Structures are given as C-alpha cells and as structure tokens.
Structure 1
Amino acid sequence: MTSISHFLNVNELGQGTAPMLLVHGFGCDQTVWRRLIPFLEKDFRLILVDLAGFGYSAPEAYDVNRHDKPSGHAEDIVALCDELDLEGAVMLGHSIGGTIGMLASIQRPNAFKRLAMICSSARYLDDPPDYYGGYTREQLDGLMQLMEHNYHDWAGTVSRVALGDAGTEARQLNLQQRFLEISPDVLGPLAKSIFLGDTRHHLPDVSVPSLIIQTARDAMVPVEAAQYLQQHLVDSELVALDAAGHYPQLTAPDILANELQPRLEIKEG
C-alpha cells in the first residue's frame, strides 16, 4: 500500500530534531518555502509536502470529490501525522495552508505544539455588519468568472494583487507561472470552496496555541481578518509583519524569520 508521504511528495531537510511541518498555500507547492528554509534548517527537522494536486504530489493522490475543499487536504495532513508519529511539531502554514493545518490540529492536537499561520483567513467573504473578510460576493464572483473564462489573465491578475507593493516583474511572473502549472480543474473547485467558504465555526475547537502572522499591506487578507483569528483562537498571538504582500516567505524571508525565531524558540548563533 502506497504511503501518504509518497502521495504528498514528502521531503525532509534540516539539521535539527524539533519537527516542523510546512504546508503551502493555494496554487503553490513546497518550493514556495525555499527562501525561508535557510533561516530554519539549522534548528528544525523540516517536513515539506506538496498537497494533492500540487507540485510533485502523486497524480493518483488527487480525488476531485475530496480535494476540492480544505477539509479534504486536512484529512491528508492528519494521515501524514499518523504515519510519521508526529508529536509536538510546529505547523507552519501559509494562507489556506494555515487553515488546513489548523483543521488537522483539531483532529490531532497532540501532533502539534504550535500553529504558525501566515496571512491566513477564516473567511474571505464579507459578512456584514460584524465581519470584514475583504471581498464582496460580486467581487469574488467576478474573480471566479475570470478564472473560468481566461485562466491566463486570472493567474496574472491574482499574482499582481497578491504581491502588491512587494511585487517586481520577476516575482509576478514566477507566481503567475506557479498558478499556470496547475490544472484549472484542480484550482477552480478549490478556489470556489476557499473564497466562498467559511471556517469560522471551527475556531473554538482549536486547542493548540496559535501564532498569527499578517503582513501590514496584504490585498488578499485584511488586517481585520487576522484580528478575527486572534480574537477567536485560544492562546493566540497576532504579529504584524513590517512587509507588503501575501507571500512574505518569498518576498521578505528575513523579516519573517526575525519574527518567527523568538516565538518558536529557535536558538540563536
């Protein structure tokens, strides 16, 4: 029987013994962490994955009826935790990867000692008058329609918006290419589930301490959404990163690492 670590193209790096599971976000794969890894590999046993349908995950791992929503990917992370006998690990997740790791922690709280979520959100859609997710239904419907009718333009638009002030032509083209390398049949259903979905009702079930890291200027996730996470997750801390864009692990890895180090008890020197 093929292992879940094979299905998810698991790779382990680092000289440390403390486990850290890195879960990438929407439209990316484990290579999105490459600029942050040098800051972490001395102190951690880094466990990198490609979620089903992304990167070099096994094609047969993808199930359209399960991986069209974050909960399906969370099931895979739970299975991976069981296979690796993870206990007391740090879960470092970006964007929806943070949400996926959070959902997995509800089922396997002993697997994690800390959740670290970068630019994550419990809901992207506004829910007035009490919740601001950053998008109206009309805006998200327009984004989904563009994705369906012109995938190339959608990838370019999302890349520019997501990088924001941190964007350069090279970075924008790199991120756009990441999106274009993934089939719209994989990204489309998941995008709809993410952007129109709601995980706020899961927050009270999270028992693992959480570190919420939010860039100061992120067009994808407003500060209000990060504040909502902090207010509704037990034993949580919100860190405002002095950086722009939705991908600080790509555009400001040093700034991100400087905030992670003291909070994850990474040894200096």
Structure 2
Amino acid sequence: MDTRQEIIARNNVNIYGNGKTTLFLAHGFGCDQNMWRFILPALKNDYTVILFDYVGSGNSQLSYYNQGRYKSLEGYAQDVLDICEALNLTDVVFVGHSVSSIIGLIASVTQPEYFKQLVMVCPSPCFLNIKPDYFGGFEKVDLEELLSLMDKNYLGWANYLAPLVMGASHSEELIGELSGSFCSTDPIIAKSFAEATFFSDYRHLLKEAKHPVLIFQSTRDALASVEIGHYMQKELPEAKLCIVDAEGHCLHMTQPEVINQHIRDYIGD
C-alpha cells in the first residue's frame, strides 16, 4: 500500500460528488463523519465533498493512534494536512465543527497553499475563562471535574454531555446518537482528545489566519456563546459572523438547510 492509500485507509476518507469546488468537512470531538449526513446530500450535487475520521474516531484505523502525536490539536491538524497532500488538494473550503474549526485554522496557517476559505460551525479558540477579560464559558476546575467523570463513569459522562452539546430541546434520537458516538470512542483516546480540546488556548492564532472565515454561532449554545463568535470575528483578519437562532452546538445536524444555504452564499459559486 502506498502512502496515499495508507492515509485514505487510516482516516477512512470518502469522496462524494465532482464539483469544481472542494469542501473538506471535519467532525468535532467525540463524533465521526456520519454527523455530516444531514448536509451531505445537498452539497454533493454541486461540490466535491471530502469526509474523513480523525485517527481514534469513527472508522479510522486505531493502529495508527499515537498518544504523543494526538495529545495536542496540532496532531489532528496533521491528519488534515496529510489528507490534503495525499489527494493533491488546492483551494479547499474547510468546514470544521467545534474543535475542528481550530484544527482547520492550525492546518491552514501551517500550510496555507491547500486552502481557500474556512467555515467554522460553533467554534471556540478557548473554552476556559481567563482573567481578566476572556470568558470561554468554563472554569478550569469545572472542566477537570467533567474529565474526571470520564474515568469514574464513562457512560454517565456521555449521557450528561450529549444533551448539553446537542441541546436538550432536540429529539431524543439525536441526543442518543451523540451519546452513542461518545461511547463508541475508546475512553483513553476520548479523554486525550477532550484534554486537547477543552484545555487549549489558540486565541493567539486567530490574528495569523491566512484565509477568509465564515463563523456560525448558535444563539443558545452551552459550549460556545454568541460572545465567542463576536470575539473571533474581531480577532480574525477577515471574518463574517452568522448568528443562527437555534439551540445547541451542532448546527450542521439541527439546522442543515440554514448552514447549507449560508455556505453556498459564502462560497459564491
């Protein structure tokens, strides 16, 4: 197996459609590429759409998981760059959910030649409250307790976090799916990814963005507030903020028509 085939197999890469513009969809923490299924049918008719799973997630090949590489978001960004290289991509529109928004930013700053635009669905550059004037939404001690629960009661942790992330007003089916997705991830890998996600601070990287950014933020999101969206819009060199009147952290699943239309308008082709 050559390197290209190895990466495609490692990250369970799937390609849909054959449009001239390539969309690279990146799932969030505890999820996999299946979470894009609500938006995929509308996109694949007009674009080339790339789906994948980070190593340690979904149907990726777990044998490639390396604790040293994936203890920080840079390791996940390297997955993205490896796929871009393997597929010989250019001018990609990278669409990242939650932490993948920042992973995409890291990748695009590291090797900007692969990218054209970034779309961030419910992003946050830092989930921590940092004095004196940054409110990421969580005190460090609260996040430490949440991660401690992963060790003590992994099923309980998943069942607690899923309605918080999806939004309690959404269907039991969607909440149950997210909880099941959390539970299907190896607990050791999930905790390492959670630490990389919730304890990182990439605010400094926003000013280094090399590409235009479209930010989607939900009006009622327990993980990333509207204020975070305004902060990111201010710090990024070129950004548009789209506030969606909805609950939850998974707008691509709960508001797929809205996300689809705004992405199309933003891309402009």
The TM-score, its normalising length taken from structure 1, stands at 0.95
Which of 199, 204, 208 is the equivalent residue of 1:201? 204
Q: Which amino acid aligns with 2:22?
A: P
Q: Which amino acid aligns with 1:154?
A: W
Tell me, yes or no, if structure 1 residue 106 matches structure 2 residue 109.
Answer: yes
For structure 1, the residue ranges without an aligned partner over 5 or more in a row are none
Summarize the alignment of residues 21-32 of structure 1 with structure 2, pairs less than 5 Å apart.
Answer: 21-32=24-35
**1:265, 1:43 → 2: CA distance?**
12
Higher mean alpha-carbon deviation, 90-99 vs 195-204, is at 195-204
**2:28, 2:199 → 1: CA distance?**
16
TM-superposed deviation, 1:127? 0.7
**1:252, 1:263 → 2: CA distance?**
17
TM-superposed deviation, 1:157? 0.7
For structure 2, the residue ranges without an aligned partner over 5 or more in a row are none
TM-superposed deviation, 1:165? 4.5
**1:190, 1:29 → 2: CA distance?**
13
TM-superposed deviation, 1:261? 1.9
8 A Cα contact 1:13 1:45, kept in partner: yes
Which of 224, 234, 258 is the equivalent residue of 1:231? 234
Number of the residue aligned with 2:149: 146
Q: Which amino acid aligns with 1:138?
A: V
Q: Which amino acid aligns with 1:67?
A: Y
**1:43, 1:129 → 2: CA distance?**
46
Please provide the CA RMSD for this pair. Answer: 1.3
Which of 59, 71, 79 is the equivalent residue of 1:76? 79
User: What is the SS of the residue equivalent to 2:219?
Assistant: strand
Q: Which amino acid aligns with 1:57?
A: S
- Residues 160-193 of structure 1, C-alpha deviations (whole Å, 9 max, x = no match): 1112244221111111000000011101011112
**2:169, 2:242 → 1: CA distance?**
19
- Residues 81-136 of structure 1, C-alpha deviations (whole Å, 9 max, x = no match): 12222111100010011111110001121211100010011000001221110111
- Residues 41-79 of structure 1, C-alpha deviations (whole Å, 9 max, x = no match): 111100111000011111222111111221101012112
Q: Which amino acid aligns with 2:257?
A: D
Number of the residue aligned with 1:184: 187
Higher mean alpha-carbon deviation, 26-35 vs 9-18, is at 9-18
Q: Which amino acid aligns with 1:174?
A: E
Deviation >3 Å, runs of 4+: none
- What is the aligned-residue identity percentage? 35
